[in-house]
Amino acid sequence: MTDYRLEQVADYLCTIELALVKYEAKEDGETYNKFFGGFGTFEKNWIKQARRKQI
């Protein structure tokens, strides 16, 4: 059970970092904008929380 949770956390953090790379390269699509919002919203809400939780 613990391994599965660690995999979920790793997947979450990788997804957030990949979205950041796509936003910075201006390759974000409509799906990213619908799910995360604009870059400012993404940075304030998602990146800030993910970076705080990283080890």
- pLDDT in single tens digits along all 55 residues of the chain: 678 888 998 898 999 999 999 999 998 888 988 999 889 999 999 999 888 877 6
What is the reported pLDDT for 28?
A: 81
> Tokens 């990146």 map to which residue?
47
C-alpha distance from residue 23 to each of 3, 27, 39 (Å): 30, 6, 7
- Our CA angle for 3, 6, 12, nearest 5°, is 145
Does residue 21 contact residue 52 with C-beta atoms inside 8 Å?
no
What is the reported pLDDT for 55?
A: 66
What is the reported pLDDT for 21?
A: 94
First and final CA of the chain: distance in angstroms? 20
